[in-house]
């Protein structure tokens, strides 16, 4: 009888441990003094790289902008992960490589992007299942005389 109660207790502990939230920390480590260490008009790209490492992301177009991103997500059991914390530090450089602006963004500043589900039309004919399956009937070539004679090199 005791073995059964021990097994039930262990099973209960195992099931409860599955409810422990899993935390996923990603990106740049949170440095509270980061913004105070950056001086607009005097700090260069090399100094930023030396103090904080390479950026998480770099802008593709326009001014040279570096982003240092830090996020924390929590997932409870089998549920979808939820972002609980996100900090983005945006550093804009001028043409000479000196900081022009520093901005900070949090989770409250996020904007949902509407995804456009239009399909780009393509030229040509779309084949259906039957056309693909039966399309090659009668299109096979007869074997040549060399292929018809077995054993010839």
Q: What is the pLDDT of residue 74?
A: 84
Domain hosting residue 23, numbered range: 18-117
**pTM for this predicted structure:** 0.58
Q: Is the pLDDT of residue 87 over 70?
A: yes
- Give the list of residues 6+ apart from residue 27 with CB closer than 8 angstroms, or none: 56, 68, 69, 70, 71
Residue 27 lies in a domain: yes
Residue 31 lies in a domain: yes
- Count: domains in the chain: 1
Contact 72, 84 (CB under 8 A): yes
- Span 50-73, mean pLDDT? 86
Residue 56 lies in a domain: yes
Q: Is the dihedral of CA 77, 81, 82, 87 positive or negative?
A: positive
29-61 pLDDT, tens digit each:
666 667 777 888 888 888 888 888 888 888 888
Q: Is the pLDDT of residue 24 over 80?
A: no
Residue 129 lies in a domain: no
Residue 107 lies in a domain: yes
- Span 127-143, mean pLDDT? 74
Residue 130 lies in a domain: no
- Span 75-93, mean pLDDT? 83
Distance separating alpha carbons of residues 127 and 105, to the nearest angstrom: 49
Residue 63 lies in a domain: yes
Residue 134 lies in a domain: no
Mean per-residue pLDDT over the chain, rounded:
79
């Amino acid at each position: 009888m005791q073995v059964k109660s021990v097994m039930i207790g262990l099973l209960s502990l195992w099931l409860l441990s599955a409810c422990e939230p899993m935390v996923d920390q990603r990106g740049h480590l949170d440095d509270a003094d980061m913004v105070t260490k950056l001086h607009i008009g005097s700090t260069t790209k090399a100094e930023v790289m030396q103090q904080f490492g390479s950026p998480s992301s770099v802008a593709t177009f326009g001014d040279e902008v570096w982003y240092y991103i830090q996020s924390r997500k929590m997932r409870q059991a089998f549920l979808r992960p939820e972002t609980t914390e996100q900090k983005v530090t945006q550093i804009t450089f001028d043409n000479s490589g000196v900081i022009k602006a520093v901005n900070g963004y949090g989770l409250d500043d996020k904007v949902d992007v509407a995804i456009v589900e239009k399909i780009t039309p393509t030229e040509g004919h779309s084949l259906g299942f039957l056309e693909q399956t039966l399309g090659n009937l009668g299109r096979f070539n007869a074997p040549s005389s060399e292929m018809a004679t077995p054993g010839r090199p």
